[in-house]
Amino acid sequence: ELALDTGFLWPARHGIRSGNHSRPAGGDRLFPGSDTRRRGKTLFCSLRALGRVRLHSQFVAAFAQQLGGPLPMQERKSPVLGSLHPGFTAIVIGGSGGIGRAVLACLECDSNAGAIIAMQRGDGEKIDITDEVSVAEAAGRIARSHREVDLVFNAAGALTINAIGPEKTIRAISAEAMARQFAVNSIGPALLLKYFVPLMPKDRRSIFASLSARVGSIGDNSLGGWLSYRASKAAQNQILKTAAI
């Protein structure tokens, strides 16, 4: 089964309204100190829905930086993770980012999880999703050490690359900048499908999930702008949809 995450959710009871451009209550100020940790428990547990719960990356990164390790959460069963094989193996790509770290913390609190592997461009288990050789080598290492993978969660993506942010007008389109957006947000997930899906078991349920963005929706686009980022996320949506068929 291939899952696709294409939106956002902010817990309304925490003073944060739903919507694509919502921000934490009180402007940019996020919940500080112990209050962040308490609210963070709820957010991490909610993330267990994987493809169903959407998170604002700035909000996740702000409290994930304070945690330094998994939260002492009460065990909660997820319908999605609970459907996987007991002792399942999970890979989180982009595990050093805010959302990736939140997914890892959530998996670490799941008693059904076996091996949990974080992969990123920096330290640890390395992968560069814009480099096919790197993706192939990473999949080869996993095949040798774990043979099968039940869950692959891709949290890697980029909005601003090399200090170039999203376009506000068609006059700002750059072929080079657009190509970099597609390399990270479209071709990267396609390469992960190519090399990691063959490692997923055929005799039981497995999940491939990749983080997209609501702005990748063509039907939901009423504001314009952000051409390269929107197009790259729309392309990722089509790639996963086609692969799922």
68 dihedral zone (left: phi>0; alpha: psi -120 to 50; beta): left
Cross-strand bridge partners of residue 161: 164
Q: Residue 52 — pLDDT band, cuts 50, 70, 90? A: very low
Structure tokens at 190: 């396609």
Lookup result for tokens 């790509």: 93
Task: Count the Cβ atoms, other than its own, within 10 Å of residue 116.
Answer: 18
DSSP string covering 224-241: ---HHHHHHHHHHHHHHH
Residues in the chain: 245
Contacts of 195 (CB under 8 A, 6+ apart): 135, 136, 138, 139
Provide the pLDDT for residue 180. Answer: 97
Closest among 154, 173, 192 to 230, alpha carbons compared: 173
Q: Residue 123 — pLDDT band, cuts 50, 70, 90? A: confident
Provide the pLDDT for residue 109. Answer: 87
pLDDT tens digit string along 137-186? 999 999 999 989 999 999 999 999 999 999 999 999 999 999 999 999 99
Task: Count the Cβ atoms, other than its own, within 10 Å of residue 108.
Answer: 15
In the predicted model, is pLDDT for residue 222 greater than 70?
Answer: yes
Average pLDDT, the chain: 75
Residue 1, classed as helix, strand or coil, is: coil
Read off the DSSP letter of residue 26.
Answer: S
How far lies 107's CA from each of 8, 68, 123, in Å? 20, 15, 20
* Class of residue 150 by CB neighbours under 10 A (exposed 0-12, middle 13-18, buried 19+): buried
pLDDT tens digit string along 63-81? 444 444 444 444 545 677 8
